[in-house]
């Protein structure tokens, strides 16, 4: 099994997380490697876990590797435990309990519960599987044959997966959100007080009182009940040593520890050396001199106790987490201010006193789940990258996708199903395989059979797609469309019945040398759109797709030998040539929609500003340098595509702005970027660059001409 794709990557990933002591990731990568060795995991397959159908949502970790865990499986959730207690079910065996719960939901009472949840919206889901029995409850009367088919598929997995949702009140709210309540709660649960504050607190509340008692015991060994008091002190000390402790109390030659050793000898009735007694008496005398008698010391300690921290982040996090328990974990927060208010009398506990305002970090975490229109979240910077935009888009797309179902309950469940499915992480796939589609889930397919196409949802999907493209290009012009965003754009285009051949970015390490047919369709559209433009002259593009194999053509353009034994860098060069020819979806979108209102000149200067900043960040790690070079070259390509949408006069004007920006950079950077600007200037003047010209590319052989 060690010959499987990605085995070395998985092994190196395990060594990294072992060094970082990340227990969760250690468990995940050990699971991956063990399953690969045992033949239970086939990396690169769309059904990677042996014996498990593709519709089951796997746990997917970095690099697209599936573990043998499942999104709808694992430990019991609070709502499962609550229902099990209500039904008096034994909880010693998770598999048997989950099997019993799935079957209970097929009882009359269980189906009625599911039906009510679907009608009211009082449910929340984390994984697509958790909508399966909701759909069964809705289809029982209208599509009984479909129900039989769903149950035949899912019942063999009743002992491993949740096919039911979590009950939760539907609180409504308008807008979209970057993070949901569940994610905020998970983050709050990791809150811990600063280590130095814990040590200070323990010193003030545990160790200083112990020290005072120790001094009193050693100063008066003849007092009544001394033996009992010494025994109590020693027992308290044994409990205290399990708490985080400052070194001043644990250091073996500290006054505290020297006195403790003397107490142990005295308590055991052993002879204490004269030198030890002298040392102890000296410590007692210094202690008395510093703090005075009993009353003076008590007064001093009272003032000293005021230094103790009364607000603890973990205690405050518990209070805020309890506030969030009233909200569905799969939704955002419509009114963050209500959640972020000061601690009330009813909530107050040790570490979270009444009236305590939440720290700025808590407010920021809560606001990260704020619900608002997507345009507002982009403008305020809460949506800070196209990937984040892609994450929130399913919240809009879901409503459109579910449009056309005959009842509100079916529409609501379908929207929740879509959102949950959109969180499914992409698998590492080889041999041009495609990711699992929503329609492949048996319960989803049965529900979608009832959807009627309508003109309205096509129009809405089209408008949403156009607005999405505008926002992404306006606010993030330097970033190529990430795969998650492309997937959502493709879904919108499908709903709108638009035939746009979207092309995803392909990972260089798994590229097999060929592209799917729709890449050639994209090349046809892009070459037509950019024919005769600055973009075509700069990259010396053909006027049309006069090639039989896009893969072979890109190989020739990259000037590589015709062989399949390419290095990762060589594969990257081929993929980049494909992105140049297809324009990585820009040509398709500019052909499909009228985007002439975009501020292309501003987008050009924004791209160049970003390139200059990124290329001058000091980087020591060679991988980071390669990533930076690739990203800036991709931004350069976007910049030239946007400049190509401008008239010739505006191209020349904005090019002068770019040269002014370059002139304001360091002398070293001016020398590095100068050849790239020279080539662009020649292309703007009408010259077509040739093979001997230095074109700004992300993947090259040898040292990159524009890298530091």
Q: Give per-residue pLDDT as tens, 651-662.
A: 999 999 999 999
Residue-range domain boundaries for the chain: 7-70, 78-171+391-452, 188-193+311-371, 195-305, 463-684
Average pLDDT on 287-304 reads 88
Contact call for residues 189 and 232 (beta carbons, < 8 A): no
pLDDT value for 456:
72
Mean pLDDT in residue range 437-454: 88
Do residues 348 and 354 lie in contact, with contact meaning Cβ atoms separated by under 8 Å? yes
Q: What pLDDT score was predicted for residue 2?
A: 43
Least confident of 26-35, 54-63, 330-339, 618-627: 618-627
pLDDT at 285 > cutoff 90: yes
Q: Please name the residues in contact with 626: beta carbons below 8 A apart, sequence gap of 6 or more.
A: none
Strand 58-61 vs strand 65-70: parallel, antiparallel, or unpaired? antiparallel
- At 1, the pLDDT band (50, 70, 90 cuts) reads very low
- 682 pLDDT more than 80: yes
pLDDT, tens digit, for every residue of 225-276?
Answer: 999 999 999 999 999 999 889 898 999 999 999 999 999 999 998 988 999 9
What lies within 8 Å, CB to CB, of 490 at 6+ separation is 500, 502
How long a stretch of residues is the chain?
708
Q: Which of 11-25, 231-245, 350-364, 405-419 has the lowest mean pLDDT?
A: 11-25
* 163 C-beta neighbours (distance < 10 Å), count: 26
8 Å CB contact between 540 and 690: yes
Question: pLDDT category, 562, cuts 50, 70, 90?
Answer: low
Q: What is the pLDDT of residue 564?
A: 59
473-481 mean pLDDT: 95
> CB under 8 Å to 125, separation ≥6 — which residues?
131, 165, 166, 330, 416, 417, 420
With a pLDDT cut of 70, the percent of the chain lying above it is 98
The count of other CB atoms within 10 Å of the CB of residue 22 is 13
| Interatomic CA distance for residues 327 and 184, integer angstroms | 11
Helices (H), 423-533: 442-448, 455-475, 483-495, 517-530
E strand or H helix at 70: strand 65-70
User: pLDDT tens-digit profile of 119-129?
Assistant: 999 999 999 99
| Of 277-291, 389-403, 610-624, minimum mean pLDDT range | 389-403
Lowest mean pLDDT among 431-435, 445-449, 482-486, 632-636: 431-435
- Weakest mean pLDDT among 90-104, 167-181, 400-414: 167-181
CA angle 488, 115, 107 (to 5 degrees): 120
* H or E element in which residue 119 lies: helix 108-120
- Other beta carbons within 10 angstroms of residue 355's beta carbon come to 9
Query: For the chain, what is the mean pLDDT?
Result: 90
**pLDDT at residue 304 in the model:** 84
Whether 281 shows a pLDDT value over 90: the answer reads yes
User: Is the pLDDT higher at 509 or at 564?
Assistant: 509
Lowest mean pLDDT among 111-125, 564-578, 634-648: 564-578
Greatest alpha-carbon span in the chain: 105
Taking residues 499-521, report their average pLDDT: 90
Give the predicted TM-score (pTM) of the model. 0.70
Distance between CA atoms of 574 and 552, rounded to whole angstroms?
9
Mean pLDDT of 153-161: 96
**Number of Cα atoms under 13 Å in the Cβ half of residue 58:** 29
Assess whether pLDDT exceeds 80 at residue 571.
Answer: yes
pLDDT recorded at residue 565: 61
pLDDT band per the 50, 70, 90 thresholds, residue 196: confident
Looking at residue 13, its pLDDT comes to: 86
Residue 84: pLDDT over 80: yes
Decide which of 369 and 692 is more confident: 369
Mean pLDDT for the stretch of residues 479-498: 91
Most confident of 1-5, 99-103, 272-276, 617-621: 99-103
- Is 48 in contact with 42 (CB distance < 8 Å)? yes
Segment 61-68 shows an average pLDDT of 89
Q: Among 48, 186, 53, which residue's Cα sits nearest to residue 132?
A: 53
pLDDT at 5: 64
Residue with tokens 């102890």: 280
Unique residue bearing structure tokens 């492949």: 440
Q: What is the mean pLDDT of residues 396-403?
A: 84
Q: CB under 8 Å to 655, separation ≥6 — which residues?
A: 643, 680, 681, 684
Q: How high is the pLDDT of residue 597? A: 94
Listed residue (488, 485, 480) closest to 582, CA to CA:
480
Contact 370, 177 (CB under 8 A): yes
Mean pLDDT of 284-292: 90
Least confident of 199-203, 276-280, 428-432, 563-567: 563-567
Q: Is the pLDDT of residue 605 over 90?
A: yes
Q: What average pLDDT does range 39-61 have in this prediction? A: 91
Taking residues 83-92, what's their average pLDDT? 94
pLDDT at 370: 94
Question: If we measure between CA atoms, which residue out of 500, 274, 467 comes closest to residue 389?
Answer: 467
Give the residue with greater pLDDT, 505 vs 23.
Answer: 505
């Amino acid at each position: 099994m060690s010959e499987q794709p990605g085995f070395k990557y998985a092994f190196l990933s395990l060594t990294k997380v072992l060094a970082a002591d990340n227990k969760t990731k250690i468990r995940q990568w050990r699971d991956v490697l063990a399953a690969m060795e045992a033949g239970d995991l086939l990396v690169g397959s769309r059904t990677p876990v042996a014996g498990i159908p593709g519709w089951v949502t796997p746990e997917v970790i970095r690099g697209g590797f599936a573990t043998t865990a499942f999104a709808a499986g694992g430990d019991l959730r609070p709502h499962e435990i609550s229902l099990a207690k209500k039904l008096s079910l034994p909880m010693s065996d998770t598999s048997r309990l989950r099997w019993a719960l799935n079957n209970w939901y097929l009882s009359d009472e269980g189906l009625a519960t599911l039906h009510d949840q679907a009608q009211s919206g009082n449910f929340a889901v984390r994984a697509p599987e958790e909508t399966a029995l909701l759909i069964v409850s809705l289809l029982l009367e209208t599509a009984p044959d479909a129900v039989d088919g769903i149950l035949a598929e899912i019942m063999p997995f009743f002992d491993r997966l949740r096919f039911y949702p979590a009950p939760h009140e539907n609180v409504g709210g308008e807008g979209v959100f970057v993070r949901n309540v569940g994610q905020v709660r998970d983050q709050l649960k990791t809150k811990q007080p600063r280590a130095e504050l814990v040590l200070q607190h323990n010193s003030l509340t545990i160790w200083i009182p112990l020290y005072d008692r120790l001094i009193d015991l050693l100063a008066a060994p003849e007092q009544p009940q001394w033996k009992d008091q010494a025994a109590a002190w020693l027992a308290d000390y044994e409990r205290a040593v399990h708490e985080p402790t400052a070194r001043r109390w644990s250091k073996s030659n500290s006054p505290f520890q020297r006195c403790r050793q003397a107490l142990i000898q005295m308590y055991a009735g052993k002879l204490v050396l004269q030198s030890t007694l002298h040392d102890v008496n000296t410590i007692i005398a210094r202690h008395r001199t510093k703090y005075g008698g009993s009353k003076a010391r008590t007064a001093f300690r009272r003032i000293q106790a005021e230094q103790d921290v009364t607000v603890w982040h973990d205690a405050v996090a518990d209070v805020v987490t309890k506030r969030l328990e009233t909200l569905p974990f799969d939704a955002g927060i419509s009114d963050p201010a209500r959640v972020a208010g000061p601690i009330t009398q009813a909530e107050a506990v040790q570490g979270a006193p009444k009236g305590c305002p939440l720290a700025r970090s808590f407010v920021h975490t809560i606001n990260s789940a704020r619900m608002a229109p997507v345009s507002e979240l982009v403008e305020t910077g809460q949506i800070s990258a196209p990937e984040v935009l892609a994450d929130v888009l399913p919240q809009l797309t879901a409503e459109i996708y579910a449009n056309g179902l005959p009842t509100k309950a079916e529409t609501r469940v379908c929207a929740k199903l879509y959102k949950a499915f959109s969180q499914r992480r992409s698998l590492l796939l080889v041999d041009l395989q495609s990711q699992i589609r929503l329609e492949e889930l048996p319960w989803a397919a049965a529900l979608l059979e009832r959807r009627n196409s309508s003109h309205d949802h096509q129009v809405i999907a089209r408008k949403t797609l156009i607005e999405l493209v505008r926002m992404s290009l306006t606010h993030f012009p330097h970033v190529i469309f990430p795969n998650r965003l492309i997937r959502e754009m493709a879904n919108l285009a499908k709903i709108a019945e638009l035939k746009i051949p979207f092309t995803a970015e392909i990972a260089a390490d798994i590229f097999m040398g060929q592209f799917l047919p729709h890449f050639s369709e994209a090349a046809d559209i892009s070459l037509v759109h950019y024919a005769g433009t600055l973009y075509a002259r700069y990259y010396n593009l053909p006027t049309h797709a006069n090639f039989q194999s896009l893969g072979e053509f890109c190989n020739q353009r990259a000037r590589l030998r015709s062989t399949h034994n390419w290095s990762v860098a060589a594969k990257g060069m081929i993929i980049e040539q494909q992105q140049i020819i297809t324009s990585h979806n820009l040509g398709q979108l500019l052909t499909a929609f009228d985007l002439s209102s975009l501020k292309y000149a501003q987008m050009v200067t924004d791209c160049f500003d970003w390139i200059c900043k990124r290329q001058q960040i000091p980087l020591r790690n060679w991988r980071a340098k390669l990533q930076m070079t690739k990203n800036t070259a991709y931004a350069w390509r976007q910049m030239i595509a946007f400049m190509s949408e401008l008239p010739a006069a505006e191209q020349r004007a904005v090019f002068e702005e770019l040269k002014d920006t370059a002139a304001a950079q360091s002398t070293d950077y001016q020398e590095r970027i100068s050849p790239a600007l020279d080539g662009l200037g020649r292309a703007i003047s009408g010259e077509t660059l040739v093979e001997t010209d230095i074109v700004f590319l992300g993947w090259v052989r040898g040292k990159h001409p524009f890298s530091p």
